[in-house]
A = this chain, B = another copy of it.
């Protein structure tokens, strides 16, 4: 067992109250006493028991993170931003995944309860009413979530605007028949990006055939499947010459499938995607994609949460939509 404050007190010949005061600087202490206590603590390799501190302070200095998955480069990027911000403040990160399953989400949130002082949640498919019940009175920041019907803080990437940017870029290149590789219906990000595609086409009075909407789930594997379908469509005379792809990972999968089908990108089909994960610039062809500032988004979420924790939940809900920018690279190009 580890040394306790009691042992340090005995070793130093003072009371435990004094030890606490010295080590936390939370009260007046004599120089001589300070030395004595520090030395004793050092000798015994004393580290305060966090569980006891948490209990008595009713603070854990930890924030909880709930994400759907832990694959690819996107979510890790979120965690990275949180980690950086949180570490700077001397706090900790408790991580859990929900697999987009309500049961796992509930389990995760319950386990967090009492272990964390606040929550960052990014779980596109969860009904927010349940979330409210589970979070009880923990400060909570949502990432990329709808803002209607609740009072949580929400920080979002401008998925809608980004999609329009990407589609506008393809149109500017001369494309008129532009497909979309969408995410799952009901997923907030997916819906926003799809809406952006639709509205931008509409704004240019371009055709919006339902056959051009290819559903996936943001994963590379679903990108392959949609990519094959895209290859079929592109083969037709009235098929798409370009596509907006709702995530970089899907774009990578789609490119794989297009190449498999003997098509070239951007020669036969031009692609613009979304996220700008670190790999996007290195992929071959490098991806024209909407940069989502993911790390900054989560860093701001952490900062906001820490502020909420320290100064109460005064003021209305804080909502912010981070602007995006288009990174034009090689995967988009002129139409055949």
> Chain A residues in contact with chain B, CB under 8 A?
1-2, 45, 47-55, 58, 60, 62, 70-73, 75-76, 79-80, 83, 87, 90, 92-97, 104, 107, 110-111, 113-115, 133, 136-137, 220, 252-253, 255-256, 259, 278-279, 282-285
Contact = CB atoms under 8 A, between A and B. Distances in A.
Contacts of A50: 111, 113-115
B111 A51 contact: no
A1 B137 contact: yes
Contacts of A114: 2, 47-53
A90 B45 CA distance: 31
Given A55-B51, A93-B94, A284 B284 contact: yes
B94 A92 contact: yes
A96 B94 contact: no
Contacts of A79: 70, 76, 95
A62 B94 contact: yes
B284 A259 contact: yes
A220 B70 CA distance: 21
Contacts of A72: 73, 76, 278
Given A50-B113, A79-B70, A278 B93 contact: no
Given A45-B136, A136-B45, A220-B278, A60 B70 contact: no
Contact of A97 (B53, B71, B83, B252): B83
Contacts of A73: 72-73, 76
Contacts of A259: 284
A76 B256 CA distance: 23
Given A87-B97, A93-B95, 6 more contacts: A2-B136, A48-B114, A73-B76, A83-B97, A87-B107, A252-B279
Nearest to A133: B45
Nearest to A93: B95
Given A115-B92, A256-B282, A282-B256, A76 B83 contact: no
28 contacts: A1-B137, A45-B133, A47-B110, A47-B136, A51-B114, A52-B55, A54-B55, A70-B76, A71-B76, A72-B73, A72-B76, A72-B278, A73-B73, A73-B76, A76-B76, A83-B96, A87-B104, A87-B107, A90-B111, A92-B95, A92-B115, A93-B94, A93-B96, A94-B94, A94-B95, A255-B284, A256-B284, A283-B284
A75 to B, nearest CB: 7
A51 B115 contact: yes
Closest 6 CB pairs of A and B: A50-B114, A51-B54, A76-B76, A284-B284, A51-B55, A70-B80
Nearest to A78: B70
Given A60-B51, A62-B115, A79-B95, A279 B279 contact: yes
A113 B70 contact: no
Contacts of A87: 96-97, 104, 107
B96 A95 contact: no
Contacts of A255: 284
A60 B80 CA distance: 24
